[in-house]
Amino acid sequence: MSLYSASVPQITKMLQNLDRWLASAEENAKKRSFDPNVLLASRLAPDQYPLVRQVQAACDAAKFAAARLSGKAPPAHPDTEATMDELHARIRAVVEYLGTFTAADFEGAEARDVVLPFMPGKGMKGEDYLTEMALPNFYFHVNMAYAILRHNGVPLGKVDYIGSMKMHDM
Amino acid sequence: MSLYSASVPQITKMLQNLDRWLASAEENAKKRSFDPNVLLASRLAPDQYPLVRQVQAACDAAKFAAARLSGKAPPAHPDTEATMDELHARIRAVVEYLGTFTAADFEGAEARDVVLPFMPGKGMKGEDYLTEMALPNFYFHVNMAYAILRHNGVPLGKVDYIGSMKMHDM
């Protein structure tokens, strides 16, 4: 399995799933007659990120995973979103950025030294970075966004979470 | 990257992290003078699994990932846990089961046909099963357990979630 196929297509799909959960939240808010943007400040605990920051962090985790494993500089996305529309645009920008990568960009990524800004003087092997940090961190923020929406009554289930899967007849 | 190194060590570590979160919840319950076992019935939404079922599902997701990718029959674990002690034992049993696998058991797993009981007549390529189903599903239940504990005031943070990482000096 290449590090590209273990990351970019799946991370892209999960961001697209997240985008749909937000659309479901907007639809649900409309039915329940409240402004969907109030959900952006909702959080599960007072010392945990609210929805808006979970979505921004999921986008950053996705962007940094691809950039660090391929040795490219990621685009900057200031955390200024204040509406569902702006969150959709942020997700769209990262999905487009991920779409610029090919498997060839990830050649040698397994052994590439990945340096994290919050761990000065330390590095991780690309394969370990993907498995131990990039994927669990990405899934963390995607799942916290999902959990906040579920906690607020948005009708979502496992099928919405998993999304499409590549299957064949047996 | 082999499918073994992309799954078993990381899934094992996340289960051990989960085990520690439960221990933190018990310690916190003691400080706040309530029975930690009441947390087992806590949930984020009335139509979502409570903590006990999230932990059981995380254990099952871990066990099935290793079993299906290696073509082995997994052990049965009836969902009868009713205490934190029993949840620790369930996690321990699955961590031990994962410890019986080696990279050799996963040879050819990329292309292995994985059949899921809830999708009759369909199969997934091992690599797609790991990336699109096994890992996201495992992370889902681990994260929902984490979210339920955080929502109940258990003092946990990203360092507890990520756990140890393989790093080297630069």
The per-residue pLDDT for range A38-93, each reduced to its tens digit, is: 999 999 999 999 999 999 999 999 999 999 999 999 999 999 999 999 999 999 99
Q: From B51, B56, B136, select the one nearest B91 (Cα to Cα).
A: B56
Contacts of B124 in chain A (CB under 8 A): 165-168
pLDDT confidence band for A152 (50 / 70 / 90): very high
Please determine, for residue B169, whether its predicted confidence score (pLDDT) is greater than 90: yes
| Average of per-residue pLDDT values in chain A | 97
pLDDT confidence band for A29 (50 / 70 / 90): very high
pLDDT of amino acid B117: 87
Contacts of B110 in chain A (CB under 8 A): 1
pLDDT of amino acid B103: 97
Scanning A34-73 for CB atoms below 8 A from B yields: 44-45, 48
Q: From B19, B1, B159, select the one nearest A133 (Cα to Cα).
A: B159
Q: Per DSSP, which regions of B32-149 are E strands?
A: 113-114, 122-125
pLDDT of amino acid A31: 98
Candidates B5, B110, B162; nearest CB to A136: B162
pLDDT confidence band for A118 (50 / 70 / 90): confident
Asked if A167 reaches chain B (Cβ–Cβ under 8 Å), the answer is yes
Contacts of B9 in chain A (CB under 8 A): 131
Mean pLDDT for B26-32 is: 98
pLDDT of amino acid A117: 87
pLDDT tens digits, residue range B36-79?
Answer: 999 999 999 999 999 999 999 999 999 999 999 999 999 999 99
Please determine, for residue A134, whether its predicted confidence score (pLDDT) is greater than 90: yes
pLDDT tens digits, residue range B91-107?
Answer: 999 999 999 999 999 99
Nearest-CA distance from B161 to chain A in Å?
8
> Using CA of residue B31, residue B32, residue B33, residue B37, what is the dihedral sign?
negative
Contacts of B48 in chain A (CB under 8 A): 150
Q: How many whole angstroms separate alpha carbon A1 and alpha carbon A4?
A: 8
Most distant pair of Cα atoms in chain B: their distance: 52
Tokens of B5: 């190194």
Helix (H) or strand (E) holding A103: none
Nearest-CA distance from A100 to chain B in Å?
20
Tokens of B115: 């059949």
Q: How many whole angstroms separate alpha carbon A161 and alpha carbon A31?
A: 22
